[in-house]
Chains A and B, each alone.
Chain A
Amino acid sequence: SQQGEEDPQALSIQEGENATMNCSYKTSINNLQWYRQNSGRGLVHLILIRSNEREKHSGRLRVTLDTSKKSSSLLITASRAADTASYFCATDAYSSASKIIFGSGTRLSIRP
């Protein structure tokens, strides 16, 4: 079973625009992570936000976490062609801190 579900499933935007992806999860968590996957490659970690944090920044990335709504969002500002990839959220269930479960992903396409 998948803990997280991303929304939208696919997103196509113009280069330079901002991209927002959302993740909803079911159970209480210790932390939430976002990963990127380029076509045919492994996943690369982007950012981790802990359950007691509400917002975190890393370069052009901004992540928010709302534990009351069990949701998170990933904002990529000033998108570039190289940002074209699939993005996944991953959560660890509070009751099983070591088990990291991935969502279904958002496929992001950046049009030049």
Chain B
Amino acid sequence: EAGVAQSPRYKIIEKRQSVAFWCNPISGHATLYWYQQILGQGPKLLIQFQNNGVVDDSQLPKDRFSAERLKGVDSTLKIQPAKLEDSAVYLCASSPQQGVGELFFGEGSRLTVL
């Protein structure tokens, strides 16, 4: 079974530029999560989808971050414009259904904002 795929693995941009991250969850997983992990900290939930609907985006900085999950499968997370404090690893995770069992994580996309 293929795992959660994320791209790109690494991205370096200057502040005020834009960036997009892509995630392909495990086939059949209804729930998809985006987490932000700043160096030395635990993952912080940004947004959670159930199929193609948003379940929770209370921690998403909506003035600069956006995310979508078209057709309830792949998802993209966009940052525009980026700030220095957005430097972090962006982790995508999926699970068969919300509220039940483990999350399966991708390897993450490491963003450096200069």
Q: How far is the CA of A100 from the CA of B50 in the complex (A)?
A: 13
**Chain A residues with Cβ under 8 A from B44's Cβ?**
2, 102
B61 within 8 A of A: no
User: A88 is contacted by which of B33, B43, B55, B101 (Cβ under 8 Å)?
Assistant: B43
**Chain A residues with Cβ under 8 A from B33's Cβ?**
100
Which of B41, B42, B102, B104 has most chain A Cβ within 10 Å? B42
What is the interface residue range for chain B against chain A?
20 to 34
Q: How many residues of chain A get a CB closer than 8 Å to chain B's CBs?
A: 25
B107 touches A105 (CB 8 A): no
B45 touches A43 (CB 8 A): no
Q: How far is the CA of A35 from the CA of B103 in the complex (A)?
A: 9
User: B55 is contacted by which of A30, A40, A42, A98 (Cβ under 8 Å)?
Assistant: A98
B41 touches A98 (CB 8 A): no
Spell out A's residues near B (CB within 8 Å). 2, 4, 30, 33, 35, 40-45, 48, 88, 90, 92, 96-105
8 closest Cβ pairs, A-B complex: A98-B98, A42-B105, A97-B99, A45-B102, A102-B42, A98-B99, A43-B105, A102-B43
